[in-house]
Amino acid sequence: MPYLTEFFQSFPPMARLAIILFLLLVVPMACRRCGLPSVVGLLVSGIVIGQHGLKIIPETPIVSNFMADVGKLLLMLFAGIEIDHALFKTIWKRSLLFGWLTFMLPLLTGMGVGLVFGYSWLAALLIGSLLASHTLLGFPITQQMGISRSAPVVITTGATVFTDVASLLVLAVCLPIHQSGFSVKSLVLQLGYLLIYVPLVIFGIGKLGNWLLSKFKETAEQQFSLVLFLMILAAFGAEVIHLEPIVGAFMAGLAIGPVAKRAKGFEMLEFLGLYLFIPFFYLNIGFQIDLKVFALTIWHNALLVLAVVGGLITAKFAAAWSVGTIYRFTRPERLLAWSLTLPQVAATLAAAVVAYQCINSAGQRLIDVTVLNTVIVLMVVTAFLGPILTARFSGQIARTDKGAE
């Protein structure tokens, strides 16, 4: 194995790129034949060729990280654009309710787990916030099944904004408290930024983008560049006020959705996103997974891992089932909403790393390496489980819809 990894490490950049493009071509086809979501195959491929596998990919894959970051933003942009505005206007209250439940139940569960295992109330609160957000890894699957505009998917994508913003606000509160104590001023300031940012993106960028897209309706190239620019602008604005960029990308998609769907340039961007950038994002997740760390964390901290993973799955299920019961979703629709909120990838991993790197004057970290490794285990389990379940329940709903026709 060492000789094999040394051989792959000597590969020139173009050879590595050729391997990645080959995987992007072959893996989704193989997964379809096996009845698995392509994201699962891409995650496994990322593990195999990543720095913890054959080391075909270097330890700091600058180009791959950039492609993955763009894919992560496009994933959320498409989620926002796909929302049917007419339907969303009738169910936004449901999104708010689901967002609140799928945030609060995992938050309280994570806090309880943290306190039971001896962590401070601040670290326990941070652990809870890590469980509260989610990444819509399964959204492209709903697109492929033709149900991305159905009520449970629209409600879940809307709830994503609430969970990500709320969990990142908790992180923004915990960091300064750990470093220098509680500050009402910093909390009020962050909330003020948010109250300015959201209307600015929804109404400001939204109206500007819709007007410009209508002006460039005959030039697909300019429409392509404009949609990409608006996404990056909203993501940058989110970073400026210390929010996750994916929140800005989602809001930009929500703002320009009705016009973007009719834009020729958006079709080009969607093609590149679905078949290049977003698959890069999935591969890049695999690059970061160390199977040895994964196994050792499970072995040495089995009870904590079981409590965190089991608590998340149970809390997300309770939130989805409760909302589904209130709004009379069918059983597959409730389970679909649950599966979409399971993956803990982008925002969760980013927040965990930031919390781990946060050190106070006494040299203490906000969360220790055990929690960080447990989050990695959580990421691996939910990144595989979520899309598999989403594919299953999406197929059930799609077949039911076809039968009804």
For the stretch 214-251, pLDDT in tens is 777 768 888 888 889 889 999 898 888 877 787 788 88
Put residue 12 in one of left, alpha, beta given phi > 0 → left and psi -120 to 50 → alpha. Answer: beta
- The helix (run of H) or strand (run of E) holding residue 97 is helix 85-116
pLDDT of residue 39: 81
| Low pLDDT (below 70) residues in the chain | 1-10, 35, 182-183, 218, 346-347, 402-405
Question: Mean pLDDT over all residues of the chain?
Answer: 85
pLDDT of residue 162: 81
Query: What is the domain partition of the chain in residue ranges?
Result: 2-404
| Among the listed residues 158, 155, 251, 160, the one whose alpha carbon sits nearest the alpha carbon of residue 197 | 251
**Which CATH fold would you assign to the domain 2-404?**
Na+/H+ antiporter like fold (1.20.1530)
Rounded CA-CA distance 405/400 in Å is 9
pLDDT of residue 169: 75
DSSP letter assigned to residue 359: B
pLDDT of residue 182: 66
pLDDT of residue 337: 95
pLDDT of residue 404: 59
What's the pTM? 0.77
pLDDT of residue 402: 67
Which residues in 251-265 are b (16+ Cβ under 10 Å) and which e?
bbbbbbbbbbeebeb
For the stretch 3-51, pLDDT in tens is 666 666 667 888 888 889 999 999 989 988 876 778 888 888 998 888 8
3-state secondary structure of 219: coil
Please state, in angstroms and as integers, the Cα–Cα distance from residue 14 to each residue in 18, 59, 199, 326, 360, following that order: 6, 17, 44, 54, 44
